[in-house]
């Protein structure tokens, strides 16, 4: 079983530890998921997300990373990040990724924890790229919430303010200075250098601090000592669900295309990629299922796999739930579901059934909560 460099800190904070795709991770701490969730929405919280993968990718002249990605990484500037899907030959999503350009033909890539080996093997086999897997060498601390900026300034000074959304800066955790992005290398990342990225999975203002394991406890303690609440996987799930963000292995598990997940905005049609023809056909035919949100009446959560039917026609199954949970912000449960195309529209009254238990709700566009 894998443990992050912060595992000892989690046990000291009396976290409820669970097995999460082969990693011992905190589900919640003493405050509980509800308070952790609301802390991120109203002030600030910190997450240990070091179970996520960390790849340095060299896209050599003979390899073809771009041919694997729905989004276009070649045209973005150095230090800029994109969210992209990694589809197979049938257009089905293998994983969703954050990819950052470090320099021409050199990239930093973050796959999901359960897909690290799969993504690495796929990229090497299908694109011939060179991958340096640093997953077990780096820690990622996510600082999220509307009040994070004072904490960022306390740790990194005012220079952090130049980091725009979906961009990065390189930081030397030994001498406390920002460095050039071109300094990022395997040796430096295993030494003193890290990456500060303005990204997150909560819908709030956020930064992800990727640093060598040797500095992990020091910087975690800095943030905890500032009174920031630690946040577990339970609140991470409710936060992302309120924003309609996908969860790898649940909202897709190599069984859905980007078009079906309602994320066509991550497709740049100006280049060839695996499964492109299939998704182009879906774009034109408009016969595929699409993901939509459902506001559930009441607090009982909809279970993954629940069938969705028309409220006034219980025998007419129109889709199924991929994710469901209680929304602390809204005070009722919410769900993501794939519905047949003709029923992909808001304000449709539906019923949900799981092993004889029935719920009702109304379809809605995501995100469930609107952020400025």
List pLDDT tens digits, range 232-245: 999 999 999 999 99
Which class for 1: exposed (0-12), middle (13-18), buried (19 or more C-beta within 10 A)? exposed
- Which pLDDT does position 82 carry in this prediction? 98
Residue 343 has pLDDT above 80, yes or no: yes
**C-alpha span between 101 and 108 (Å, rounded):** 7
| CA within 13 Å, CB half, 310 | 10
Q: Delimit the domains of the chain by residue range.
A: 2-52+135-242, 55-125, 264-364
Residue 24 has pLDDT above 80, yes or no: yes
> Which run of H or E residues covers position 42?
helix 33-42
Residue 303 has pLDDT above 80, yes or no: yes
**C-alpha span between 270 and 249 (Å, rounded):** 28
- Which pLDDT does position 194 carry in this prediction? 98
Sign of CA dihedral 229, 234, 240, 245: positive
Q: Give the Cα-Cα-Cα angle 109, 57, 88 (nearest 5 degrees).
A: 70
Mean of pLDDT over the chain: 97
pLDDT band at 222 (very low <50, low <70, confident <90, very high): very high
User: For the packed helices 149-156 and 216-225, what is the interaxial angle rounded to 10 degrees?
Assistant: 130
For 243, other C-beta atoms within 10 Å of its C-beta total: 17
| Superfamily of domain 264-364 in the CATH hierarchy | Aminomethyltransferase beta-barrel domains (2.40.30.110)
The mean pLDDT of 126-149, rounded to a whole number, is 98
Q: Would 2-52+135-242 and 264-364 be classified into the same CATH topology?
A: no
Residue 117 has pLDDT above 70, yes or no: yes
User: Is residue 80 left, alpha or beta, with left meaning phi > 0 and alpha meaning psi from -120 to 50?
Assistant: beta
Enter the tokens of residue 282.
Answer: 């879906």
Residue 237 to residues 66, 130, 140, 231, 363, Cα–Cα distance (Å)? 30, 32, 17, 11, 20
The mean pLDDT of 341-357, rounded to a whole number, is 97
pLDDT band at 63 (very low <50, low <70, confident <90, very high): confident
- Which pLDDT does position 60 carry in this prediction? 84
- Which pLDDT does position 371 carry in this prediction? 77
**C-alpha span between 56 and 64 (Å, rounded):** 15
pLDDT band at 372 (very low <50, low <70, confident <90, very high): low
Which class for 315: exposed (0-12), middle (13-18), buried (19 or more C-beta within 10 A)? exposed
The three-class DSSP label of residue 132 is strand
Residues ≥6 apart with Cβ < 8 Å to 167:
79, 80, 81, 197, 198
| Fold (topology level) of 55-125 | Alpha-Beta Plaits (3.30.70)
- Which pLDDT does position 314 carry in this prediction? 87
> In 3D, which of 163, 169, 168, 138 has the Cα closest to residue 149?
163
| Fold (topology level) of 2-52+135-242 | Gyrase A; domain 2 (3.30.1360)
Q: Give the Cα-Cα-Cα angle 337, 343, 344 (nearest 5 degrees).
A: 60
Share of the chain above pLDDT 70, in %: 100
What are residue 171's DSSP bridge partners? 178, 194
pTM beyond cutoff 0.85: yes
User: Residue for token digits 């041919």?
Assistant: 67
Residue 313 to residues 289, 294, 317, Cα–Cα distance (Å)? 19, 17, 9
Residues ≥6 apart with Cβ < 8 Å to 95:
85, 86, 111, 112, 115, 118, 119, 248
> In 3D, which of 9, 1, 37, 6 has the Cα closest to residue 234?
37
Do 18 and 27 form a contact (C-beta atoms < 8 A)? yes
Residue 59 has pLDDT above 70, yes or no: yes
For 365, other C-beta atoms within 10 Å of its C-beta total: 12
List pLDDT tens digits, range 65-77: 999 999 999 889 9
**C-alpha span between 205 and 41 (Å, rounded):** 10
Residue 115 has pLDDT above 80, yes or no: yes
> In 3D, which of 92, 140, 141, 139 has the Cα closest to residue 118?
92
């Amino acid at each position: 079983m894998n443990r992050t460099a912060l595992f000892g800190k989690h046990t000291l904070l009396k976290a409820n530890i669970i097995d999460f795709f082969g990693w011992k991770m905190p589900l919640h701490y003493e405050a509980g998921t509800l308070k952790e969730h609301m802390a991120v929405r109203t002030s600030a919280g910190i997450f240990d997300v070091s179970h996520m993968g960390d790849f340095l990718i060299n896209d050599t002249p003979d390899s073809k990373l771009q041919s694997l990605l729905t989004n276009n990484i070649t045209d973005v500037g150095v230090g800029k990040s994109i969210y992209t899907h990694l589809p197979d030959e049938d257009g089905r999503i293998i994983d969703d990724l954050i990819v950052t350009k470090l320099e021409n033909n050199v990239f930093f890539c973050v796959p999901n924890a359960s897909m690290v080996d799969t993504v690495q093997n796929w990229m090497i086999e299908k694109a011939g790229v060179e991958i340096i897997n640093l997953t077990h060498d780096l820690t990622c601390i996510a600082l999220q919430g509307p009040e994070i900026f004072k904490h960022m300034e306390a740790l990194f000074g005012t220079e952090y303010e130049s980091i725009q959304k979906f961009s990065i800066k390189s930081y030397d955790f030994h001498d406390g200075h920002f460095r050039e992005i071109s300094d990022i290398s395997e040796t430096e990342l295993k030494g003193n250098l890290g990456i500060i990225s303005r990204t997150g999975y909560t819908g709030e203002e956020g930064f992800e601090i990727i640093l060598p394991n040797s500095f992990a406890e020091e910087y975690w303690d800095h943030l905890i000592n500032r009174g920031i609440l630690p946040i577990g996987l339970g609140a991470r799930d409710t936060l992302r669900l309120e924003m309609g963000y996908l969860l790898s292995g649940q909202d897709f598990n190599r069984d859905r295309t980007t078009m079906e997940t309602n994320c066509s905005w991550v497709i740049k049609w100006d280049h060839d990629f695996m499964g492109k023809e299939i998704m182009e056909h879906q774009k034109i035919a408009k016969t595929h299922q699409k993901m939509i949100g459902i506001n559930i009446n009441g607090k009982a959560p909809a279970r993954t796999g629940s069938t969705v039917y028309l409220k006034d026609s219980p025998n007419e199954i129109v889709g199924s739930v991929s994710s469901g949970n209680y929304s602390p912000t809204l005070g009722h449960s919410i769900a993501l579901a794939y519905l047949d195309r003709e029923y992909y529209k808001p304000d449709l009254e539906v019923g949900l059934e799981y092993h004889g238990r029935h719920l009702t709700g109304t379809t809605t566009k995501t995100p469930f909560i609107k952020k400025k």
